[in-house]
Amino acid sequence: MKKPSSALPWLALILLFALLMGVGMLAAKASRYKNSQADIAEYTPWPSKTVDTFSRILIQDGGRIKPVHTYARYALMQLRGTSTAGITDNAGTKHQLSAVAWLLDVLFRPEMARKMPVFTIDDTGVLTGIGLEPGGNKRDRYSYDFIVKGRALLAEKSAEYGRQKDEADRTKRADLELTSTQEQILLLSRKVSQFEFLTNQFTFARGAIDDPSNMLPKEMKDLAKKIKAEELIDKLPAMTREQLFSGIQAQRTANADENVISDSLGVLFFQANSGRGFAVFPPTEPSNEVWRSVGDVLLDALATKEQREDLFKSTAQIRGLVGAVDNADDFLAKLTGFEEWQRELTGKRALKEGTHSSLEVSLMRTAPFYWSLVLFVISFIAVALSWLSPSSGFGRITSLTGWILAILALGLNTYGIVLRCIIRSRPPITNLYDTIIVITAVAVLFALLAEKMTKQRIALAAGVLAGVAGMFLSLAFEAKDASDTMAPLQAVLNTNMWLATHVTTINIGYAGGMIAAFLAIFYLQIRFLVAVGLAEEDPQINRVLVRMVYGAVCFCLFFSFIGTILGGIWANYSWGRFWGWDPKENGALIICLWTMAILHSRLGGYLRDLGLSVASVFLAVIVTFSWWGVNELGVGLHSYGKTSGVMQALYLTWLVLGLYMAAAIPIWLKEKAAKKTKTQPPAPSIPSTPELA
């Protein structure tokens, strides 16, 4: 292998410094939230077998059947921003809770869960806005027991800001736009409501109503201690929900017994309504696809006398679990019994829900995309270190290490993609999250194949850098969105054939455009170091990079063109027209036109090496706009992937890409000066004068 240019050691140091800065910024961000103190005398962790069993319980949420492990993960991420919760009890013992263990506390030990600091607040103005005194840090985490002191004002403010936001959206008036603090108060209100929703799920089985905010009447809470929901329902005639509401709203009379009945119905409705949403009871009817929650079971039992005995078997299991909380062995036995009962019911159903739930739990536990990121980072460090001394034994060993780690990281990414396909019985790409992990895999694979042919360690570095960027983006997107990444498809996407052809092909084209930009950035960095006098020119490295950039642009055009044609055929099939100038369609068309312009300009001699690289970096601007930007426009038939914060990230990305394109200016000026020097005629020679004798 030819000895690499002296620009590579400089490039290695720059990239290692950038990586170090990135890790430092992430560490600094994580250290912002210092509060982990939970006002718990001594926390008792759940036995690992209990956590494992509970993680396999099935629940219907967001339109699909999933294991509790997945549900708990995203529930905690929505509140805390992470999938684990670290707490310190009053005994000074630190505990790291998994999302499943945390959800067990929320459902079965709510008084303990309320003391855990899981609410992330990034602006102390949110706390002062609801009448609370914040801690010492601007950004920190707080417990429900702390926030509940301002619960009434939080409800009032969130209602006011909600109306203001609706009015601003309706009238498009800039003066009605919410401030950042007001937006965060709205967000906190939603988080608090979600937490209360979870802690109150099994209120009917506790014999008392939990009301830390003291917003419910005392008479209602006293009456709840005397009422058992199932016994009350069993004494009542069949009653629709409308009849239940009428009974609750009946005017109070002098007859105390009638008033007690009305109040009891109010308690029953509160308990049933509090238990809505956590649907863990499979329907017994084969044709019914809707699972029941505790609240659904209670209201269905109220509506029909014939099914009460069967329905109460479901609530009896929850009562048994709530009653066994203080006995670990008894709780585990009842939880195992519930899991077996649930699996028996689903096994009899034609839909066979939860068939791949064990695979989903395995996917969540093994976290292949996280470990893929770790391996890509280490691989990148190894490759960068190999550039510092490329010809030595150290350089060869670190280069080989980078190769092996890159292949392992790509393997983990691919493993995760395959598992997601099996779990959903779908092609690889069904949503924006899927595009990230698939595009990353394709870009890395392209780079590794290019490295195999060129053997200059440049494509290897570009590939692992793309792997780092892609895997980090996947984790950041998941944390930001904090919602199920395997949610059911929207109706317009519910077709495996077109997902496997058009969607996959167009995203492979995106991957080609992105890897072309990564390689072009390496070319510009090396040429810039030469232009400013920090390194010597190496024509061999330049030629190899330009060839790889050109090949990646061809790759991008090929798949983008085919993907665009397939998209038009799908549009004609679904919407009755091949082309409608939709923003997403326009984005795909612009990619095709720009890549064709690059290739024709290159063939025509209008774009030389430097111009090709700058045009390829700009290709990344177009690809990211088509990939992410058009979803944020909120118009067109493809506006179903809008995500908050994406435009700000895009603007930053485009700024960085613009800086790289601007770096071509000094390179071009140096080239121009060099050409001018070469074209100048040599100075005429002055004949020598003979010496006088």
Which residues have a Cβ under 8 Å from the Cβ of 467 and sit 6 or more positions away?
372, 373, 376, 379, 380, 406, 409, 410, 413, 440, 443, 444
The pLDDT score that the predictor gives to residue 2 is: 43
> Are both 61 and 169 inside the same structural domain?
yes
The pLDDT score that the predictor gives to residue 575 is: 81
> Are both 407 and 332 inside the same structural domain?
no
Distance CA 612, CA 614 (A): 6
> Are both 437 and 312 inside the same structural domain?
no
Distance CA 623, CA 104 (A): 44
> Are both 191 and 221 inside the same structural domain?
no
> Are both 172 and 222 inside the same structural domain?
no
Quick check: helix, strand or coil at residue 214?
coil
> Are both 402 and 341 inside the same structural domain?
no
- Residue 636 φ/ψ region, left for φ over 0, alpha for ψ in the -120 to 50 degree band, beta for the rest: left
Distance CA 42, CA 626 (A): 53
More confident residue, 227 or 620: 620
> Are both 545 and 679 inside the same structural domain?
yes
Distance CA 61, CA 198 (A): 13
Last residue of a domain, one of 318, 348, 378: 348
Beta strands 84-88; 64-67: pairing state: unpaired
> Are both 337 and 383 inside the same structural domain?
no
| Cβ atoms of residues 588 and 506 within 8 Å | yes
Question: If you average pLDDT over residues 218-231, what whole number do you get?
Answer: 81
The pLDDT score that the predictor gives to residue 680 is: 62
Is the CA virtual torsion 234, 240, 241, 244 positive or negative?
A: negative
**Distances from the Cα of 108 to the Cαs of 86, 195, 322, 668, in angstroms?**
19, 13, 6, 68
Q: Given pLDDT bands bounded at 50, 70 and 90, which one contains residue 63?
A: confident
> Does residue 233 fall inside a structural domain?
yes
Is pLDDT of 270 > 80?
yes
- Both tokens of 150, joined, read 């301002």
> Could you write out the three-class secondary structure of 128-179?
HHCCCCCCCCCCEEEEHHHHHHHHHHHHHHHHHHHHHHHHHHHHCCHHHCCC
> Does residue 449 fall inside a structural domain?
no
Question: If you average pLDDT over residues 584-600, what whole number do you get?
Answer: 94
Distance CA 338, CA 332 (A): 10
Is pLDDT of 338 > 50?
yes
Closest by CA position to 363, among listed 2, 106, 69: 69
The pLDDT score that the predictor gives to residue 690 is: 52
Question: If you average pLDDT over residues 552-566, what whole number do you get?
Answer: 96
Q: Given pLDDT bands bounded at 50, 70 and 90, which one contains residue 260?
A: confident
Distance CA 238, CA 303 (A): 5
Phi first, then psi, for residue 397 (nearest 5°) are -65, -45
Beta strands 117-121; 140-143: pairing state: antiparallel
Q: Given pLDDT bands bounded at 50, 70 and 90, which one contains residue 533?
A: confident
Closest by CA position to 398, among listed 9, 666, 2: 9
The model's pTM: 0.88
Angle value at C-alpha 69, between 148 and 279, nearest 5 degrees: 70
**Residue with the two structure tokens 């870009």:** 443
The pLDDT score that the predictor gives to residue 692 is: 40
Task: Pick the range with the lowest mean pLDDT from 11-15, 35-39, 209-213, 338-342.
Answer: 209-213
Average pLDDT, the chain: 87
Q: Given pLDDT bands bounded at 50, 70 and 90, which one contains residue 307?
A: confident
Is pLDDT of 296 > 70?
yes
Which residues have a Cβ under 8 Å from the Cβ of 542 and sit 6 or more positions away?
523, 526, 527, 609
> Does residue 525 fall inside a structural domain?
yes
Phi first, then psi, for residue 65 (nearest 5°) are -90, 130
The pLDDT score that the predictor gives to residue 1 is: 41
pLDDT tens column, 448-474: 999 999 988 899 999 999 999 999 999
> Does residue 39 fall inside a structural domain?
no
Q: Given pLDDT bands bounded at 50, 70 and 90, which one contains residue 222?
A: confident
- Both tokens of 34, joined, read 């210092």
More confident residue, 581 or 549: 549
Distance CA 22, CA 608 (A): 34
Question: If you average pLDDT over residues 198-209, what whole number do you get?
Answer: 86
The pLDDT score that the predictor gives to residue 406 is: 96
Q: Given pLDDT bands bounded at 50, 70 and 90, which one contains residue 30?
A: low
- Both tokens of 603, joined, read 């063939």
- Both tokens of 361, joined, read 């739990």
> Does residue 298 fall inside a structural domain?
yes
Which residues have a Cβ under 8 Å from the Cβ of 11 and sit 6 or more positions away?
387, 522, 525, 526, 529
> Does residue 575 fall inside a structural domain?
yes
Range of the domain at 396: 1-31+367-441+457-468
The pLDDT score that the predictor gives to residue 391 is: 77
DSSP state of 143: E
The pLDDT score that the predictor gives to residue 681 is: 63
Distance CA 220, CA 440 (A): 56
> Does residue 356 fall inside a structural domain?
no
> Are both 103 and 189 inside the same structural domain?
yes
The pLDDT score that the predictor gives to residue 8 is: 75
Is pLDDT of 287 > 80?
no
| Cβ atoms of residues 79 and 120 within 8 Å | yes
Q: Distance from first CA to last CA of the chain, Å, rounded?
A: 63
Q: Given pLDDT bands bounded at 50, 70 and 90, which one contains residue 207?
A: confident
Overall domain count for the chain: 4
Question: If you average pLDDT over residues 561-584, what whole number do you get?
Answer: 88
The pLDDT score that the predictor gives to residue 32 is: 66
More confident residue, 110 or 679: 110
The pLDDT score that the predictor gives to residue 11 is: 78
Percentage above 70 pLDDT, the chain: 92
Task: Pick the range with the lowest mean pLDDT from 20-24, 182-186, 460-464.
Answer: 20-24
Is pLDDT of 264 > 60?
yes
- Both tokens of 174, joined, read 């800039």
Helix extents (H) in 455-486: 458-481
Phi first, then psi, for residue 428 (nearest 5°) are -60, -35
More confident residue, 605 or 226: 605
Question: If you average pLDDT over residues 362-376, what whole number do you get?
Answer: 95
Last residue of a domain, one of 131, 166, 199: 199
> Are both 538 and 614 inside the same structural domain?
yes
Question: If you average pLDDT over residues 526-550, what whole number do you get?
Answer: 89
The pLDDT score that the predictor gives to residue 494 is: 72
Distance CA 122, CA 653 (A): 24
Distance CA 673, CA 540 (A): 22
> Does residue 416 fall inside a structural domain?
yes
- Both tokens of 210, joined, read 């939990």
Task: Pick the range with the lowest mean pLDDT from 117-131, 339-353, 563-577.
Answer: 339-353
Quick check: helix, strand or coil at residue 425?
coil
Give all strands (DSSP E) within 167-321, no chain letters. Answer: none
- CB atoms inside a 10 Å sphere around CB 257: 8
Last residue of a domain, one of 348, 378, 401: 348
Question: If you average pLDDT over residues 417-442, what whole number do you get?
Answer: 94
> Are both 232 and 341 inside the same structural domain?
yes
Is pLDDT of 308 > 70?
yes
More confident residue, 164 or 258: 164
- Altogether, the residues listed in the chain come to a count of 693
> Are both 505 and 584 inside the same structural domain?
yes
More confident residue, 583 or 391: 583
